[in-house]
Amino acid sequence: MTHEYIDLQTVAHVQGAVRLPGSKSISNRILLLSALSQGDVAIVDLLASDDTAVMLAALRSLGVQWTEEQTATGTIHHVKGVAGVLPNKSADLFMGNAGTAIRPLTAALAVIGGDYTLHGVPRMHERPIGDLVDALNAAGTNVEYTGNPGFPPLHIKQGKIHAQRLSVRGDVSSQFLTALLMVAPLMAREHAIAIDVVGELISKPYIEITLNLIRRFGVTVEQNGWESFTIEPGQVYQSPGTIHVEGDASSASYFLAAGAIAGGPVRVEGVGRDSIQGDVRFAAALEQMGVQITMGDNWIEARSNGVLKAIDADFNHIPDAAMTIAIAALYADGTSTLRNIASWRVKETDRIAAMATELRKVGAIVEEGADYIKVTPPAVITPATIDTYDDHRMAMCFSLVSLDGAARKGNVMRINDPQCVGKTFPEYFAAFAAIAK
Ligand SMILES: O=C(O)C1=C[C@@H](OP(=O)(O)O)[C@@H](O)[C@H](O)C1
Ligand SMILES: C=C(OP(=O)(O)O)C(=O)O
């Protein structure tokens, strides 16, 4: 099999400022909430990437009108809300590998009803959705699997919501709860809707993003810890007018780690103290590793303070940015352990297995378990040819191994299939090259 690849020369020093692309998690939530709301929404700085492209295309197939306007300061998307009534009652929707598109859209279409099919790339058909479908169907929707039970593709038909209390498992993906929360106002016409979470909820900060954005669209959710959520009846999504998408905090992690490994300072612009994204807490993990972090309302800066300190921590709250810590661990002074990351195994690829395999290629000693990874850096990091498993984060993470940290020898790092970064950050390699000095 032939591969496309990118060769990265050794980078001795990094420095500069990076304007981040919009947050994937915020972009796709805002798109769906805009479509479901009353009134027109102007979205500023929406992420332009594969994951948002599939959501935009799906909304168009469903009859939701939107336009894109280029202005001197950036892009504005104008979405005409349909107030929960979709013009097209049937559609075949391609969801790529976007969890933030397929999970909330499945819930919305199941509750609204119609004749819809949803499918994606082969890996999407291996990513679980059964807990969400179970919760929806128990409430009265009609969602069927057309392939393997528990996984896309799905066929959604007309159902009838009869339940006022739903329960959903929270320990496989938080996106199932996010999906139910987003559509709960559509179910809570006459009665309140309660959603109970079964099992320990993972990735909690993503639920905070969901609740925050739901509130911006005029709906209040009552929260009882992480165990249950209630939506009072009669609330409808209202356009907030104009809404701005923050920079992507997960994308920020690669540049902050670069500053931490190879000098810096590197500043990311678009996220900071005011962010609603849990992944800004990546900066705190770097601080624990001895990195000097400074932060403003809308920026974060990292500079290295010498050799990184090994870390042993629970990363359940930042599963995506945690992958970048596994790479920083290569440049640390001992063994690092990343705990409570079982969800890595059901994402773009089995990320624990992929990370272990590729880290070993550059010389690390790696131990993996069902829900953890332990990385012992080699005396000397050896550049290698890295496979990316159609996982944008594998490509972005391993670009960092071109950095000339304290213990790295050799020259070219080769990243296979680098175009997979298009899922969330199509311009990644250009942005990375711009901070290489
Ligand atoms: O809700 C979201 O926007 C996301 C939730 C997380 O998934 P899990 O809840 O499956 O961990 C995260 O990994 C994903 O990239 C985006
Ligand atoms: C897990 C991820 O994506 P998704 O939104 O498809 O779950 C990710 O971006 O790291």
Residue 28 Cβ < 6 Å to ligand 2: no
Residue identifier of the C-alpha nearest atom 3 of ligand 2: 99
Q: Do residues 224 and 195 lie in contact, with contact meaning Cβ atoms separated by under 8 Å?
A: no
- What pLDDT score was predicted for residue 307? 85
Classify domain 5-21+247-435 at the CATH superfamily level.
Answer: Enolpyruvate transferase domain (3.65.10.10)
Q: Which residues contact 367 (CB under 8 A, 6 or more apart)?
A: 373, 374
User: Does residue 405 surpass a pLDDT of 90?
Assistant: no
User: Does residue 260 surpass a pLDDT of 60?
Assistant: yes
- What pLDDT score was predicted for residue 51? 98
Compute, in angstroms, the gap from residue 75 CA to the centroid of ligand 1.
25
Q: Do residues 356 and 366 lie in contact, with contact meaning Cβ atoms separated by under 8 Å?
A: yes
Q: Which ligand is nearest to the CA of 96?
A: 2
**Edge-to-edge strand order for the sheet containing 14-19?**
14-19, 263-269, 299-303, 292-295
Compute, in angstroms, the gap from residue 373 CA to the centroid of ligand 2.
19
Minimum-distance ligand 1 atom for the alpha carbon of 29: 3
188-220 confidence digits (pLDDT tens): 999 999 999 999 999 999 999 999 999 999 999
Percent of the chain with pLDDT over 90: 94
Residue 218 marked in a binding site: no
Q: Which residues contact 156 (CB under 8 A, 6 or more apart)?
A: 106, 109, 110, 113, 114, 115, 116, 117, 118, 141, 142, 143, 144
Classify domain 24-244 at the CATH superfamily level.
Answer: Enolpyruvate transferase domain (3.65.10.10)
Three-class DSSP category at 381 = strand
What six digits make up the tokens of 133? Answer: 């479908």
- What pLDDT score was predicted for residue 407? 58
Minimum-distance ligand 2 atom for the alpha carbon of 323: 10
Pairing status of strand 40-44 against strand 242-244: parallel
Residue 127 Cβ < 6 Å to ligand 2: no
Pocket test for ligand 1, best of 33, 175, 178, 281 (most atoms within 8 A of CB): 175
53-110 confidence digits (pLDDT tens): 999 999 999 999 999 999 998 899 999 999 989 999 999 999 999 999 999 999 999 9
User: Does residue 170 surpass a pLDDT of 70?
Assistant: yes
CATH 3.65.10.10, the chain: domain bounds:
5-21+247-435, 24-244
Compute, in angstroms, the gap from residue 9 CA to the centroid of ligand 2.
28
What does pTM read for this prediction?
0.98
Residue keyed to tokens 């109970």? 196
Q: Cis omega before residue 319 (within 30°)?
A: no
Residue keyed to tokens 């996106």? 175
Residue 347 Cβ < 6 Å to ligand 2: yes
| Dihedral sign, Cα of residue 121, residue 126, residue 128, residue 130 | positive
Distance between CA atoms of residues 189 and 95, nearest Å: 29
Residue 173 Cβ < 6 Å to ligand 1: yes
379-404 confidence digits (pLDDT tens): 989 989 999 999 999 999 999 999 98
Residue identifier of the C-alpha nearest atom 10 of ligand 2: 320
261-271 confidence digits (pLDDT tens): 999 999 999 99
Residue 234: pLDDT band with limits 50, 70, 90? very high
Residue identifier of the C-alpha nearest atom 10 of ligand 1: 173
305-345 confidence digits (pLDDT tens): 878 999 999 999 999 999 999 999 999 999 999 999 999 99
Best CA proximity match to 132, nearest among 159, 160, 151: 151
DSSP output for 128-197: --HHHHHHHHHHT-EEEESSSTTSS-EEEE------SEEEEE-SS-THHHHHHHHHHHHH-SSS-EEEEE
Q: Where are the alpha helices (DSSP H) in 188-291?
A: 204-216, 249-261, 282-288
Residue 174 marked in a binding site: yes
User: Does residue 1 surpass a pLDDT of 60?
Assistant: no
Compute, in angstroms, the gap from residue 277 CA to the centroid of ligand 1.
11
Residue 408 marked in a binding site: no
Residue 409: pLDDT band with limits 50, 70, 90? low
Residue 320 marked in a binding site: yes
Compute, in angstroms, the gap from residue 319 CA to the centroid of ligand 1.
8
Compute, in angstroms, the gap from residue 205 CA to the centroid of ligand 1.
9
Pocket test for ligand 2, best of 203, 277, 423 (most atoms within 8 A of CB): 423
What is the Rg, in whole angstroms, of the alpha carbon atoms belonging to the chain? 22
Residue 362 CB neighbours (<10 A): 21
User: Does residue 410 surpass a pLDDT of 80?
Assistant: no
- What pLDDT score was predicted for residue 3? 66
Residue 100 Cβ < 6 Å to ligand 2: yes
Residue 24 marked in a binding site: yes
User: Does residue 432 surpass a pLDDT of 60?
Assistant: yes
Minimum-distance ligand 1 atom for the alpha carbon of 28: 3
Residues labelled catalytic: 320
Minimum-distance ligand 1 atom for the alpha carbon of 172: 10
Residue 202 Cβ < 6 Å to ligand 1: yes
Minimum-distance ligand 1 atom for the alpha carbon of 320: 13
Of the CA atoms within 13 Å of residue 201, those in its CB half-sphere come to 21
For residue 61, the one-letter residue type is: S
The mean of the pLDDT values for the chain is 96
Three-class DSSP category at 231 = strand
Residue scoring higher pLDDT (376 or 408): 376
